[in-house]
Amino acid sequence: MSLRIDRRFFLSALAAAPILPGSLFHTAAHAQAGDPLPSWNEGRTKDSILAFVAAVTREGSQSFVPARERIATFDNDGTLWVEQPMYVQLAFALDRVKALAAQHPEWTSKQPFKAALEGDLRTLAASGERGMVELIMATHASMTTAEFEKVVGDWLATARHPRFDRPYTSLVYQPMLELLAYLRANDFKTFIVSGGGIEFMRPWTERVYGVPPEQVVGSSIKTRFQMRDGRPELFRLPEINFVDDKAGKPVGINEHIGRRPIAAFGNSDGDLEMLQWTTLAGDRRRFALIVHHTDAEREYAYDRHSHFGRLDVALDAANANGWTVADMKKDWKQIFPTDAGPLGTGARAIK
C-alpha cells in the first residue's frame, strides 16, 4: 500500500460519550504507590525519565523548576495511541464517507469519494492534498460542533481496530498512561499537542488520558458563531483554520499554552520542531523522548519508511541532541492496558 498522506490533512472534531469500559488512567494512577512506571523495563530509558523529574522537582537545586512552569506536551497518534495501519481519524473519515454515500449518489463516480467507498487507498493517496482536503471537508464540516461531537462519539463507540478488535480508545499505551500520571503526580501540567483534529480528541482525552479539553492542542477547521431559534451554536465551516503539525506545533504551543514546555514526547518527524522548541532554548534543563515503534509482534515496527508516523529526521536529531529514544520492544513491559477487553489478533504480527 502506498498511502502517502500528509498529517496536514487530519483536522478537527468533537466526540462525546464515555468510550471506555473503565477509565484507563486510573489504573496507571494506582501504580504510583510503588514504582511509578511499572510497565517500563529497567534501563537507561526509564532512568532518564526518573532522573529528569527528580532534577526539576528538587527544591533548592539549580535544576529546580517551579510547578507552574512544569509544562509537558505529548503528541497523540503513535505516541499515546496506535496510528497503524492508518491514523484513526482517517479510518473515521472513510467510514463517514460510506455513511453519507446514500445522500451523495454522485460520489460513486467522483474522486476521491469513489476510492474511499471502494477502499482503494492507492487512488485515494494519488488524489493528493486536494483530494484529502475534499474528503475531510465533506466528512468533518457543515454541521454544528455539537452535531460533530455526536457523530464522532457514535463512531468511536462502535468502531474496532482491524487487527486488535478493540475500540480505538483502548489501544492506548499503558507505559505512556503511567508516564502522564507520574508527571501529574509531580505537579506537571500535561498537554496533548497533536496533528490530529482538536475536536476529534477533546471529548475522550480526559477520560482516557486524564487530559482535560482545555489542555488539548490540535489541528482545526474554522467555526462560525450563530444564533438559531434563540440558541447559540458554532457551525463548522469547510475551511482549514490551523494545522498543528511539524513547524505548526511550536506555533500551536505558543498560541494555546503561552509557555515553553520543559518536556515533550513524540514519535515522528511531525514532532521534530516541538522537540526542538522544547529543548534547545539553552536556558535550563529540559527533556525530550521519542517513542520508537520496534515491536511488530505486540504492536508495529516502523520508522524511516512508514507512510504514517514516519520517523527519520527526528531520529537523527535525537542522537544529535541527546533526546531519549524509547525502544518499544526493549523498554516496554506491556503495550496496552489489560483491562479493556480482548486484544483479538494481538499476537499476530502484521507489518
Q: Point out which residues bind a second copy (CB under 8 A).
A: 14, 68, 71, 145, 189, 198-199, 202, 206, 212-216, 220, 222-225, 227, 230-232, 234, 241, 247-251, 254-259, 273, 276-277, 280-282
Closest approach of a second copy to the CB of residue 273, in Å: 5
- Residue 253 CA to residue 282 CA, distance in Å, equals 18
22, 23, 27, 32: CA torsion to nearest 10: -160
Nearer to a second copy, 128 or 213 (CB): 213
Closest approach of a second copy to the CB of residue 294, in Å: 28
- Nearest CA to 213 among 225, 222, 221, 204? 204
Nearer to a second copy, 118 or 255 (CB): 255
Nearer to a second copy, 184 or 189 (CB): 189
Closest approach of a second copy to the CB of residue 278, in Å: 9
| Rg over CA atoms, the chain | 20
Nearer to a second copy, 175 or 261 (CB): 261
Closest approach of a second copy to the CB of residue 27, in Å: 19
- Residue 195 backbone dihedrals phi, psi, to 5 degrees: -70, -15
Q: CA 159: distance to chain centroid? A: 17
Nearer to a second copy, 130 or 231 (CB): 231
Q: How do strand 263-266 and strand 231-242 relate by DSSP bridges?
A: unpaired
Closest approach of a second copy to the CB of residue 223, in Å: 5
Contact (Cβ atoms closer than 8 angstroms) between residue 337 and residue 172: yes
H helix runs in 62-194, sequence order: 88-100, 113-118, 121-126, 128-140, 145-158, 174-185
Closest approach of a second copy to the CB of residue 250, in Å: 4
Nearer to a second copy, 245 or 331 (CB): 245
